[in-house]
Amino acid sequence: MDFRQYVGKLEREGNLLRIRKVVSGDLEAAAVLKTAEPNPVLFENIKETKGFRVVGNVFCAKESIAKYFGITTADLIPKITKAIDQRNQPEEIKNAPCQEVDMGTVDLNKLPILRHTKQDGGKYISSAVVVTRDPEYGQNLDFHRAMQISNNKMSTRIVEGRDFHKFLERNGEVEAAYCVGNTANVLVAAAISVQTGIDEMYIANALEKTRVTKAKSVNLLIPADCEVVLEGRVFMKERAAEGPFIDITDTFDVIRQEPVFEVRKITHRRDPIWQALLPGALEHKLLMGMPKEPTIFKKVTEAGVRCLDVNVNPGGCSWLHAIVKIDKKNEDDGKKAVLAAFEGHKSCKHVFVVDKDINIYDPLQVEWSMATRFQADRGLVNKGKEPGSSLDPSAEPGTKITNKVGFDLTAPIVTKGKSFSRAEFPKADLKKYVEE
Ligand SMILES: Cc1cc2nc3c(=O)[nH]c(=O)nc-3n(C[C@H](O)[C@H](O)[C@H](O)COP(=O)(O)O)c2cc1C
């Protein structure tokens, strides 16, 4: 299913808010998206640009990603794990939908690039899946926000350590395609961090058949069915101010001198749909955190603990916290799971391990575990200071040094005092008791 087919499906099912009124791409569209969150919204008329519809809030919850793939949320971790292991080559096609129209002379002002908040450094592309290539490692997919700085240039945030950053270090300048308007297969695959040299497009194809096509002006294979493609080059040495921009901690990231993306060609589908992605909001958080769940699950399982599910939850910015549900068999399983979870997600700051009777998507139940099953002297794992996430405002300034702590919230196997089971009431069908 491509992006517009999925948007159509959302509308048929009554899950899309269609806005016909003229809306400004300068703050107003973002305000509507934030207010409507988590409901998907389609804007028919963006004031500053012609010919583009804009859709946002498409994948704000795990349920929406699971629904896209036709599975339950519990099946997501196994599906993503299998796709990483069984990744395979996508079909390459000619005459791709994403190249139906060539916009000619590049003018970024013709695209409905949104400005999200007053404090932002400018208009930002935040949903683009970025395709790059290194002569030795081959292709890579990831996300890089890009702030418009002129008619044809953007400054783009490339965190040190990312594959794209490695490619830039090695080559000085790198061809890139910023692809907008993608479905969950491509978005999730791009958000996954695997060994350098693995083309995440293969993972996208294992999640769902994904067609690719040759970009027009750069030597890259891009998602054939996406909506808009910005092709060009990114330079390691040519830099420009980037930021402020809201990151997933709901705080503003600082202004940095970041590489410049020079856009040389723009192609799009006929009647194009621009995909908006609200920075710091639920969709951004979900796409950041969810791909870490399979890696945590794997490490906990490898540590010999029966892992049942993992939630890198929005309350923890979908990055700094992980809740791990285990089927506890040994007294030390909780602590083992804590340490393994940190191995599976290096940016994580706090890990919470709970028993199998706890719903890890219900913060009240997780807190209930802490209140009733946790004692700090036996359940607290203080790892001390080590590198965590650069996004954490509480990390040591200018570094990502943070104090990592895990909480074993599981009940002891052998109960000495009160029971640890949750009390259950009998159930009643209220309809039977209400007069017609
Ligand atoms: C919505 C979204 C936006 C992101 N924005 C950026 C960004 O601006 N810069 C960056 O370096 N990483 C960003 N990331 C994180 C990377 O894209 C992500 O960690 C990716 O998996 C790294 O891929 P790699 O291992 O191939 O380098 C973003 C992730 C998501 C889901």
Q: Which residues are CB-contacts of 308 (< 8 A; sequence separation ≥ 6)?
A: 325, 326, 327, 356
Q: What is the 3-state secondary structure (H, E, C) of 264-327?
A: EEEEECCCCEEECCCCCCHHHHHHHHCCHHHHHHHHHHHCCCEEEEEECCHHHCCCCEEEEEEE
Buried residues in 101-135 as b, exposed as e (16+ CB within 10 A) = eebeebebebbbbbbbbeebbbbbbbbbbbbbbbe
Are the C-beta atoms of residues 246 and 116 closer than 8 Å to each other?
A: yes
| Any atom of ligand 1 within 6 Å of the Cβ of 408 | no
Q: Which residue's CA is minimally distant from atom 1 of ligand 1?
A: 284
| Any atom of ligand 1 within 6 Å of the Cβ of 162 | yes
- Which atom of ligand 1 is closest in space to residue 162's alpha carbon? 27
User: Which pLDDT score is estimated for 416?
Assistant: 85
Q: Which residue bears the tokens 């906990």?
A: 300
The SS3 call for residue 4 is helix
How does pLDDT run along the chain (436 residues), one tens digit per residue?
999 999 999 999 999 999 999 999 999 999 999 999 999 999 999 999 999 999 999 999 999 999 999 999 989 999 999 999 999 999 999 999 999 999 999 999 999 999 999 999 999 999 999 999 999 999 999 999 999 999 999 999 999 989 999 999 999 999 999 999 999 999 999 999 999 999 999 999 999 999 999 999 999 999 999 999 999 999 999 999 999 999 999 999 989 999 999 999 999 999 999 999 999 999 999 999 999 999 999 999 999 999 999 999 999 999 999 999 999 999 999 999 999 999 999 999 999 999 999 999 999 999 999 999 999 999 999 999 999 998 899 999 888 899 999 999 999 998 888 889 988 999 999 999 997 6
Break the chain into its structural domains and give their ranges.
3-287, 291-408
| Any atom of ligand 1 within 6 Å of the Cβ of 158 | yes
Are the C-beta atoms of residues 51 and 75 closer than 8 Å to each other?
A: no
Q: Which residue bears the tokens 């305000």?
A: 31
- Mutate which of 87, 125, 143 for ligand 1? The one with the most ligand atoms within 8 Å of its CB, which is 143
| Any atom of ligand 1 within 6 Å of the Cβ of 175 | no
What type of residue is 130?
Answer: V
Q: What is the dihedral of CA 303, 309, 311, 312, to 10 degrees?
A: 30
User: Which pLDDT score is estimated for 376?
Assistant: 97
The SS3 call for residue 210 is coil
| Any atom of ligand 1 within 6 Å of the Cβ of 404 | no
**Angle CA(120)–CA(242)–CA(314) in degrees, nearest 5?**
60
User: Which pLDDT score is estimated for 417?
Assistant: 84
Active site residue 2: no
- Which atom of ligand 1 is closest in space to residue 142's alpha carbon? 17
| Any atom of ligand 1 within 6 Å of the Cβ of 288 | yes
Residue (of 319, 305, 304, 395) closest to 351 by Cα position: 319
Q: In whole angstroms, what is the distance from residue 388 CA to residue 403 CA?
A: 8
User: Which pLDDT score is estimated for 308?
Assistant: 97
Residue 68: HSE in the Cβ half-sphere, 13 Å Cα cutoff: 26
Residue (of 319, 335, 316, 90) closest to 225 by Cα position: 90
Q: In whole angstroms, what is the distance from residue 324 CA to residue 37 CA?
A: 26
- Ligand 1 center from residue 424 Cα (angstroms): 44
Q: How far is CA 210 from the centre of its chain?
A: 19
Residue (of 121, 190, 182, 186) closest to 156 by Cα position: 121
Q: In whole angstroms, what is the distance from residue 191 CA to residue 180 CA?
A: 14
* Structure letter (DSSP) for residue 240: E
- Ligand 1 center from residue 144 Cα (angstroms): 6
339's enclosing H/E stretch is helix 333-344
| Any atom of ligand 1 within 6 Å of the Cβ of 144 | yes
| Any atom of ligand 1 within 6 Å of the Cβ of 285 | no
* Structure letter (DSSP) for residue 108: G
| Any atom of ligand 1 within 6 Å of the Cβ of 242 | no
| Any atom of ligand 1 within 6 Å of the Cβ of 192 | yes
| Any atom of ligand 1 within 6 Å of the Cβ of 142 | yes
- Mutate which of 142, 186, 236, 247 for ligand 1? The one with the most ligand atoms within 8 Å of its CB, which is 142
- Mutate which of 139, 162, 255 for ligand 1? The one with the most ligand atoms within 8 Å of its CB, which is 162
- Ligand 1 center from residue 130 Cα (angstroms): 9
- Which atom of ligand 1 is closest in space to residue 145's alpha carbon? 8
- Which atom of ligand 1 is closest in space to residue 127's alpha carbon? 1
pTM attached to this predicted model: 0.94
Q: In whole angstroms, what is the distance from residue 379 CA to residue 91 CA?
A: 50
User: Which pLDDT score is estimated for 409?
Assistant: 98
Q: Which strands sit side by side in the sheet containing 273-275, from one edge to the other?
A: 17-23, 41-46, 53-56, 273-275
- Ligand 1 center from residue 373 Cα (angstroms): 37
Which homologous superfamily does the CATH classification assign to the domain defined by 3-287?
A: Electron Transport, Fmn-binding Protein; Chain A (2.30.110.10)
Name the class of domain 291-408.
Answer: alpha beta
User: Which pLDDT score is estimated for 398?
Assistant: 82
Catalytic site residue from 247, 309, 333, 355? 247
Are the C-beta atoms of residues 207 and 80 closer than 8 Å to each other?
A: yes
User: Which pLDDT score is estimated for 419?
Assistant: 85
Q: In whole angstroms, what is the distance from residue 200 CA to residue 56 CA?
A: 23
- Which atom of ligand 1 is closest in space to residue 166's alpha carbon? 27
